[in-house]
């Protein structure tokens, strides 16, 4: 598996699963943001570990 490439699915207000993905070794995380509410760039606050 090496560096895990992870897709996290959720809304802008329910981002907790990023925490699950961050348990992996140096994961590259992509987020599938569902719904019309919220600004996707806000997810940048989880850009690092």
Partner 1 sequence: MGVAKAYILSAQIDEASFSETLVDLINANNYSVIAVPVSKFFKTAIAITAQKLSAPLIVDVIDLKQSGNVLEVTYNGIGNRAQVTVKVTDRAFLMAPPARFKPVEKATAISTETLQPKAIPSIKVVSTEEKPKGKVRIEDAELIVSVGRGFKKQDDLKLAFELAEVLGGAEIGCSRPIAADLKWLSEDHWVGLSGHKVRPKLYVAIGISGQPQHLAGMMESKTVVVINNDPNAPFFKNCDYGVVEDLYKFVPALTKRLKELLKK
Smallest gap from residue 15 Cβ to partner 1 (A) = 6
Non-local (6+) Cβ contacts of 19 within 8 A are none
| Residues 11-40 as x/- pattern, contact with partner 1 by CB under 8 A | ---xxxxxxxxxxxxxxxxxxxxxxx---x
Question: Largest Cα–Cα distance of the chain, in whole Å?
Answer: 34
Smallest gap from residue 22 Cβ to partner 1 (A) = 6
Size of the site for partner 1 (CB under 8 A): 41
- C-alpha span between 42 and 20 (Å, rounded): 18
Residues that bind partner 1 (CB under 8 A): 1-2, 4-10, 14-36, 40-41, 43-49
């Amino acid at each position: 598996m090496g560096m895990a490439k992870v897709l996290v699915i959720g809304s802008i207000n329910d981002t907790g699963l990023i925490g699950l993905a961050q348990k992996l070794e140096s994961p590259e995380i992509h987020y599938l943001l569902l719904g019309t509410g919220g600004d996707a760039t806000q997810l940048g606050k989880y850009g690092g570990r």
